[in-house]
């Protein structure tokens, strides 16, 4: 069974051809990051226009790379939300057109569901139930995944998403956008010598990044005022350590609370090298089976959307041509 996955929820246009739900035949990503970099963040209108420019060609290239033709497609999966409304619509219109022209089923996929299912692309997929931690540029959520399509949000960020916090702190430190990979890189040259405050929220599985972000901001401001050099690598390493330790602590709290032995981590921030090291160390110690996709599947891509779409379709879920973009789509909502 061949599924095409189309992802246009933010600043990456991506198309993938997937065989039988886990074999990636092609997974092309056209990143707009170089364009948005000049603005220091994603400009929604610019993102939509670029999706329009590249999507049709990307679909052709993904088919070519997979050595398939339009007639070989059995299922069309597309990101329905959450994301930027204009950007989402570009992918959805292309997917609907394919569904109508090829007379093949259409399935709308929640972008977060896609991130979770990036972990099902290997040979040894996770078994239900499991705890999923999504850490991306737009989301930070702890989810109890009971089955395909059955999700319970256990906790989430009260302000910025983890990736957003990395991006903003990078900006304070004068690093490039997107800041996550920059902080990851420069942290390797620094030491976590600054003690940023512990994160406290009323609900134990919620998280908040505004305190630590402000702490970085004040530290840099005070050092500048005193005419001192900014130890960028040390601040980056300290910030990264604090954030990862907080994410880790809550993940294990969730695992213990529900007595679950499988942890799935996904989203752009999951490709952070310190996060990967610490999650692996703790999982080994605590006998937890840990899943983190390879970096190219952590960030936004069409393969994860195709994979989630395939599994949902196998479970009996399906969309129709009334499928609509929903920028605030909740997990489990259809």
136 counts as binding Zn ion under rule CB under 5 A: yes
114 counts as binding ligand KG4 under rule CB under 6 A: no
- Residue among 82 and 155 whose Cβ is closer to ligand KG4: 82
- Residue among 86 and 180 whose Cβ is closer to ligand KG4: 180
Contact between residue 169 and residue 239 where contact means Cβ atoms under 8 Å apart: yes
Strands 23-31 and 12-19: antiparallel
119 counts as binding Zn ion under rule CB under 5 A: no
Q: Is the dihedral of CA 257, 260, 262, 266 positive or negative?
A: negative
Among 118, 300, 305, 312, binds Zn ion (CB under 5 A): 300
Angle, helix 273-286 to helix 179-187, in steps of 10 degrees: 70
Contact between residue 5 and residue 306 where contact means Cβ atoms under 8 Å apart: yes
Q: CA 167 to CA 209: how far, in whole Å?
A: 12
Smallest separation (angstroms) from Zn ion to the CB of 150: 21
Size of the site for ligand KG4 (CB under 6 A): 20
Which residues neighbour 294 within 8 Å (Cβ) at sequence distance 6 or greater? none
Q: Which stretch binds Zn ion (CB under 5 A): 132-140, 167-175, 270-278, 286-294?
A: 132-140
Q: CA 226 to CA 27: how far, in whole Å?
A: 50
141 interacts with, out of ligand KG4, Zn ion, none, CB within 5 to 8 A per kind? none
CA gyration radius, the chain: 20
Contact between residue 267 and residue 135 where contact means Cβ atoms under 8 Å apart: yes
Among 299, 302, 313, 323, binds ligand KG4 (CB under 6 A): 299
Smallest separation (angstroms) from ligand KG4 to the CB of 116: 12
Q: CA 56 to CA 129: how far, in whole Å?
A: 38
109 counts as binding ligand KG4 under rule CB under 6 A: no
Q: CA 210 to CA 334: how far, in whole Å?
A: 32
- Residue among 95 and 161 whose Cβ is closer to Zn ion: 161
192 counts as binding ligand KG4 under rule CB under 6 A: no
Place of tokens 């605030």: 328
- Residue among 105 and 273 whose Cβ is closer to ligand KG4: 273
Q: Which stretch binds ligand KG4 (CB under 6 A): 19-27, 152-160, 161-169, 207-215?
A: 161-169
At 137, phi and psi to the nearest 5? -75, -20
Apex 260 CA angle, 293 and 275, nearest 5: 35
271 counts as binding ligand KG4 under rule CB under 6 A: yes
181 counts as binding ligand KG4 under rule CB under 6 A: yes
79 counts as binding Zn ion under rule CB under 5 A: no
Smallest separation (angstroms) from Zn ion to the CB of 301: 9
160 counts as binding ligand KG4 under rule CB under 6 A: no
Contact between residue 250 and residue 204 where contact means Cβ atoms under 8 Å apart: yes
- Residue among 238 and 271 whose Cβ is closer to ligand KG4: 271
Contact set with Zn ion (CB under 5 A): 136, 300
Contact set with ligand KG4 (CB under 6 A): 10, 136-138, 163-164, 166-167, 178-181, 184, 267-269, 271-272, 299-300
């Amino acid at each position: 069974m061949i599924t095409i996955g189309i992802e246009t929820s933010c600043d990456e246009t991506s198309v993938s051809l997937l065989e039988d739900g886990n074999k990636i035949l092609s997974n092309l990503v056209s990143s707009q990051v170089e364009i948005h970099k000049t603005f220091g963040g994603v400009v929604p209108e610019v993102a939509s226009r670029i999706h329009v420019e590249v999507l049709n060609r990307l679909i052709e290239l993904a088919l070519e790379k997979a050595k398939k033709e339009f007639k070989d497609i059995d299922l069309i999966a597309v990101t329905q939300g959450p994301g930027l409304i204009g950007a989402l619509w570009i992918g959805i219109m292309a997917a609907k057109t394919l569904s109508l022209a090829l007379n093949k089923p259409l399935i709308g996929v929640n972008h977060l569901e896609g991130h979770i299912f990036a972990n099902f692309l290997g040979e040894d997929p996770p078994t239900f139930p499991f705890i999923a931690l999504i850490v991306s540029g737009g989301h930070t959520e702890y989810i109890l995944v009971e089955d395909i399509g059955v999700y319970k949000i256990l906790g989430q960020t009260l302000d910025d998403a983890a990736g957003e916090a990395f991006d903003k702190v990078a900006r304070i430190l004068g690093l490039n956008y997107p800041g996550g990979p920059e902080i990851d890189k420069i942290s390797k040259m620094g030491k976590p010598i600054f003690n940023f405050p512990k994160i406290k929220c009323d609900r134990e599985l919620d998280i908040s990044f505004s305190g630590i972000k402000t702490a970085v901001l004040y530290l840099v401001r005070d050092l500048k005022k005193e005419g001192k050099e900014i130890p960028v690598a040390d601040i980056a390493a300290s910030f990264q350590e604090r954030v990862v330790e907080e994410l880790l602590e809550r993940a294990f709290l969730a695992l213990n609370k529900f007595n679950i032995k499988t942890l799935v981590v996904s989203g752009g921030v999951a490709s952070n090298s310190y996060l990967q090291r610490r999650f692996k160390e703790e999982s080994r110690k605590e006998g937890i089976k840990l899943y983190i996709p390879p970096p190219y599947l952590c960030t936004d891509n069409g393969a994860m959307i195709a994979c989630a779409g395939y599994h949902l379709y196998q479970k009996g879920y399906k969309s129709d041509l009334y499928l609509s973009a929903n920028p605030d789509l909740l997990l489990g909502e259809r």
